Homo-oligomer: A and B are copies of this chain.
Amino acid sequence: MPTHPILIAGEWRAAKASGTFQAENPTTGEKLPGEFPVSTWADCDEALAAAEAATILRATPPEQIAKFLTRFAERIETRKSELVKIAHAETGLPKAPRLADVELPRTTGQLRQAAAAVLEGSWALPTIDTKLNIRSTLAPIGPVWVFGPNNFPFAFNSVAGGDFAAAIAAGNPVIAKANTSHPGTSRLLAEEAFAAVAETGLPPATVQLIYRTSHEDGARLVADPRTGAIAYTGSRAAGLKLKSAADATGKPIYLELSSVNPVVVLPGALTERGAKLADEFAGSCLMGTGQFCTNPSFVVLLAGELSEQFIAAVKTKFEGAPTTPLLSSAVARALAASVKTLQEAGAQLVTGGKIISAPGYRFANTLLRVSGEKFLAEPEKLQTEAFGNASLFVIARDAAEVEKILAHLEGNLTGAFYSDTGGGDDALYEKFAPLLRLRVGRLLNDKMPTGVAVSSAMNHGGPYPSTGHPGFTAVGIPASLRRFAALHCYDNVRAARLPAALQNKNPNGKMWRLVDSQWSQADIAE
């Protein structure tokens, strides 16, 4: 069985490998055909050298970069059935609706939104002080390493997903480090990306792909002088190791790490629509076997009969729902370990709590519960992320205890409140919301956090340790592009030497520029 090549410097070529690995079908536990290489430093070094040369991308007209993003989206659509088939085999995620009807269209939609942002140009916040003739704009930061997660084989794929689209749209070459649980999906996507690169005449190393490195080389490549920035989505432990290496050489690293996504269900909402909420919550929790960064796995309730009814209703849903496969054996093992940690810290099983035997990698739909008092005794352990189909109810004695619980929360991507429509919960909301607000990137009302819309106003980010910096979002254009940019100021630079975006004439008549502190699409009078 030949080993798949890697994509370096515009060529699919054999890796300088230290070993190989195979993907697995998590639905069956069987190895999938095809060997993928574990690259040595030689591959990383060549990719970095090629990417550095490909930073001439910064001088490429926006139309050409937009064309690439659009053609890539079209090529993905052309190869859709093959992509869905392999992604399903590698992740166990349902072909439809999830992969074919939701995630793939989302992915091509992101690429097209990124193309539109490149054409329009406002994302870079071009700023002009006409009086002093000082002008500035965000500009490409340099080669971006993208480490994609296991749970979105398309939409967060390192060679096609949101970080990829944002980094390219900001004018940077991307070196993709495939997630090792779906290397075959990444390979097909990289084939289409590279074909689109060739078709649209971008520098050949605009898109490169390697599959796996040693941890040591991973730390080395993020810290390399040729690296511009890094985007990482995945486990906290691995992410923080990369952060430490990148920080040491001043490389911006954007992380999307763990999050338990607290949901506070206020009593009026339970009275008003408890059964409906149990449905909604169970659906959100079990979707994709709970393998979302924004999975609501930490629910705060006030002690009482209505909360007990809610828990019982969710329990019934969890027990009645099928046990769908997890993404890999590693995910199943980690989930079991997390549930064990929660139990050891004082949480009690409501249902589930064990690995389901073959076929594939499955864990029983799991609910746990703990009192507010016990939570406050072990707040760190009881915020252990149980990535997958498990959720913890934290039952507070009273409102004061809810406040204490919220004040002990780590940084999270999201936090949600459910309250009644009549205003009966408003006093509690006003008490609790400011506490949760400071600890999450996105605050929701009456809505589960699992839908992360690709919206200009989205924040898929949050306070540490849910990410590495609370000011940036991984989803949402234009803001996600700004992660991969450096601020370039031009002071008294002669007119003809300015980038097009900063010249007096608005380059496309549509670009928003902050001219003398007012946003404007107009040309500047000579």
Contacts and interface: CB of A to CB of B under 8 A. Distances in A.
Interface of A: 59, 122, 125, 127-129, 132, 134-136, 138, 141-142, 243-244, 247-252, 411, 414, 429, 433-434, 437-438, 441-447, 449, 453, 455-459, 461, 463-465, 468-473, 478-479, 482-483, 485-494, 497, 512, 514, 516-519
19 contacts: A129-B455, A134-B453, A250-B468, A250-B469, A252-B469, A252-B471, A429-B497, A444-B493, A445-B493, A445-B497, A459-B488, A461-B487, A470-B486, A470-B487, A471-B482, A471-B486, A473-B489, A479-B487, A512-B519
A465 B250 contact: yes
B519 A519 contact: yes
Contacts of A249: 464
A414 B491 CA distance: 10
Contacts of A125: 479
Contacts of A473: 487, 489
B127 A491 contact: no
Contacts of A519: 122, 512, 519
A404 to B, nearest CB: 15
Given A250-B468, A445-B494, 12 more contacts: A127-B457, A136-B458, A244-B247, A414-B491, A441-B486, A442-B489, A443-B488, A447-B492, A470-B487, A473-B487, A479-B487, A519-B519
Given A488-B441, A491-B447, A514 B456 contact: yes
The 7 closest A-B pairs by CB, nearest first: A250-B464, A459-B489, A470-B486, A519-B519, A442-B489, A247-B247, A129-B457
Count copies of this chain in the complex: 2
Contacts of A491: 414, 442-445, 447, 449, 453, 458
A136 B134 CA distance: 29
Contacts of A487: 441, 459, 461, 470-473, 479
Given A471-B252, A519-B512, A489 B443 contact: yes
A479 B517 CA distance: 11
A370 B142 CA distance: 31
Contacts of A471: 138, 141, 252, 482-483, 485-487
Contacts of A411: 250
Contacts of A138: 471
A47 to B, nearest CB: 19
Contacts of A438: 142
The residue among A141, A250, A438 with the most chain B CB atoms within 10 A of its own CB is A250
Contacts of A483: 471
Nearest to A113: B517
A486 to B, nearest CB: 4
Contacts of A457: 127-129, 132, 134-136, 489, 514
Given A244-B247, A248-B244, A459-B136, A489 B453 contact: no
B514 A518 contact: no
Contacts of A517: 456, 478
Contacts of A429: 497
Contact of A141 (B434, B445, B461, B470): B470
A247 B59 CA distance: 33
Nearest to A249: B464
A470 B139 CA distance: 10
